[in-house]
Structure 1
Amino acid sequence: MSIIGLFMQAGLFVKFVMLVLLGFSISSWAIIIQRTRVLSSATNDAEAFEDRFWSGIELSRLYQESHDRRDSLIGSEQIFYSGFKEFVRLHRANSDAPEAIIDGSARAMRIAMNREMETLEAYIPFLGTVGSISPYIGLLGTVWGIMHSFISLAGEKQVSLQTVAPGIAEALIATAIGLFAAIPAVMAYNRLNQRVNKLEQNYDNFVEEFTAILHRQAFSHNPAKQ
């Protein structure tokens, strides 16, 4: 007996279950590889930008550099660009209201951060779904296959292990494939969520630190408000 041979001998419904689970497994691995690359790139970009941000460069110069690449910004740089753009706009419109300037800038950064998080979290919930339902789908195929196998043996006068084993084995393959799809999906789901949460904390810290810098700049032009 081989896995391919058991698959070919399985009933139509069990074959369908196996193919669905194989599809889940292939999709999961594609998402795992793609999301790992995206998160690694986002982490490297965040570290590179924050190194430049804290290097002492003037914010206006850094903003101009970001503005020149505004269509390809991601992560911390996109958050910085959105916040400083709103800061400049509000400061020009009403420099006598530093509280409103800071609130508007912080709000713009939060919106940009939420959009970045939506991008980073894309497709990851699918891994959780695969990890949750794949064993049950495999079990359904197994139960159906065993039931069908025993029904087919109902008319036999003598039933031996050699007679029963192939039908049970082909049914159990469905459970094995379900576990094969579920285990990597669950492990990747937890790991990728951990990395997303770490990036979210990093972005949140940057927003707080940059807001404090903008706060000092806004009030430095309004000494009476300090």
Structure 2
Amino acid sequence: MTDLAILSAAAAAAAPTRLDPVKLFLDADIVVQLVMAGLLLASIWVWMIIISFSMRIGAARRRSSEYEAHLWEQSDERPVEEQKPRSASPAGRVVAAGLEEWRLSTKGAGYDVDGARQRIAGAMEGQIGVEADTLAERLNFLATIGSVAPFIGLFGTVWGIMNSFFQIGQQQNSSLAVVAPGISEALFATAIGLFAAIPAVIAYNRFSQQVNVFEARLQRLADKVHAQLSRQMDAD
């Protein structure tokens, strides 16, 4: 076997048979490495938000369902305005805000019924907004990562390809063996950007819809409580 055949066989044996993400990262330019590291950290943070939000929205739904069941079960024995609302759930805090305003607005004789109704409705709507904002406070980060991460990855790709062309000029060799490793490392940055962006976009759209549904649920509860308090003021 000739020397050329031996070298070809050795090169074929040494060539990797699959992509190695760790090797791609370690062999990349320092700028591309920084881009990859930042995108990986963003991806970890995205998944932390996804897990924590899923737990929070699940707990909020469960506690609110328990409170509403207790509220309407007890309303057969006592009117809503005579109950002591629990504030451990979003639904309980909404009702508590309405009852507090009801007590303040009706404690004097000859109060303005229409004004009291508006203030009660405003108090509960304000608390609903607070609950929705509290649930959605980290969702903007998901939207930001979903829109920005692909472009950050693309920046790393462009930088890596520029570096590959620079190596062509330095080595005076435009063969695929010279440029392929650098281009692979550069494209890996775009892949990581998409890896961070895709779950963020999906989670943001889904979680935003869940927050809207939960907010509408609290609004329906507030409307029912407001109706009962309005009937009580009419009776007075």
Give the alignment's TM-score, normalised by structure 2.
0.86
Which structure has the larger Rg?
2
- Asked if 1:161 is matched to 2:182, the reply is no
1:40 equivalent among 58, 67, 70: 58
Which residue of the partner structure matches residue 11 of structure 2?
A: none
CA contact under 8 A between 2:36 and 2:153: conserved in structure 1? yes
Residues 1:167 and 1:16: Cα distance change in structure 2 (over 3 Å): same
1:104 equivalent among 109, 113, 119: 119
SS of residue matched to 2:169? coil
> Within 2, Cα distance between the matches of 1:78 and 1:43?
13
SS of residue matched to 1:55? helix
Within-5 A mapping of 1:117-128: 117-128=132-143
Identity of aligned residues (%): 36
2:208 equivalent among 193, 202, 206: 193
When structure 1 is superposed on structure 2, of 126-135 and 39-48 the one drifting more is 39-48
SS of residue matched to 1:153? helix
CA contact under 8 A between 2:67 and 2:89: conserved in structure 1? no
Q: Deviations over 1:161-217 (max 9, x none)?
A: 222111111111100000000000011001101110100110111111111111100
Runs of 5+ unmatched residues, structure 2: 1-15
> Within 1, Cα distance between the matches of 2:169 and 2:36?
26
> Within 2, Cα distance between the matches of 1:39 and 1:107?
24
Residues 1:169 and 1:154: Cα distance change in structure 2 (over 3 Å): same
CA contact under 8 A between 1:74 and 1:116: conserved in structure 2? no
Within-5 A mapping of 1:84-95: 84-95=99-110
> Within 2, Cα distance between the matches of 1:148 and 1:142?
10
Q: Which runs of structure 1 show a deviation greater than 3 angstroms over 4 or more consecutive aligned residues?
A: none
Within-5 A mapping of 1:200-215: 200-215=215-230
Within-5 A mapping of 1:178-189: 178-189=193-204
Residues 1:99 and 1:160: Cα distance change in structure 2 (over 3 Å): same
CA contact under 8 A between 1:13 and 1:141: conserved in structure 2? yes
Residues 1:151 and 1:107: Cα distance change in structure 2 (over 3 Å): same
Give the residue type in structure 2 aligned to 1:118.
Answer: D
TM-superposed deviation, 1:96:
3.6
TM-superposed deviation, 1:142:
0.2
TM-superposed deviation, 1:94:
4.0
> Within 2, Cα distance between the matches of 1:162 and 1:94?
90
CA contact under 8 A between 1:135 and 1:178: conserved in structure 2? yes
Which residue of the partner structure matches residue 24 of structure 1?
A: 42
Give the residue type in structure 2 aligned to 1:29.
Answer: W
| Aligned pairs, number | 215
Provide the aligned C-alpha RMSD in A.
1.5
> Within 2, Cα distance between the matches of 1:195 and 1:114?
14
Which residue of the partner structure matches residue 53 of structure 1?
A: 71
Give the residue type in structure 1 aligned to 2:202.
Answer: M
Which residue of the partner structure matches residue 153 of structure 2?
A: 138
SS of residue matched to 1:129? helix
Give the alignment's TM-score, normalised by structure 1.
0.90
